[in-house]
Copies of this chain bind each other. A is one copy, B any other.
Amino acid sequence: MKTLKHSRQRDAILNCLMARHDHPTADAVYVSVREEFPNVSLGTVYRNLNLLADLGEIRRLNCGSGPERFDGDTRPHYHFICRECGQVTDLPMDVLDRMNTEAQEYCGGKIDSHITYFYGICRDCLDKAEKHL
């Protein structure tokens, strides 16, 4: 079997994701980790992000377009994406687990989870738009 070995780079990558809540892309994590490890490789960042996601310590986000994003918060929760600035924020509302059982009625198979992204315009962009009227 394959045993996991400790690595300082992986720690830094995980710490980075736990510390920030803006759901960064692999490249943004790369920039961040380079402050501590100036010659970390982008491949290392990708490799560890995938490893951590497979281990269930972080989550992958596919917000509809653009590169993949990552989330250090693995508790089930919803996200809001601003059509204007593209920023991705957490929505502290309860996840509707009963949607799974409801959906299961219609599909014949077994449903264990769902992912929901909400779209619209964030507060900041609304304010900006109002100023320019």
Contacts and interface: CB of A to CB of B under 8 A. Distances in A.
Nearest to A63: B62
Contacts of A38: none
How many copies of this chain does the complex contain?
Answer: 2
Contacts of A118: 99-100, 103, 107, 111, 113-114
Interface residues on A, range: 35 or more
A37 interface: no
Contacts of A62: 62-65
Given A111-B80, A125-B109, A93 B102 contact: yes
Given A62-B64, A64-B62, A65-B62, A91 B106 contact: yes
Interface in A47-87: 60, 62-65, 78, 80, 82
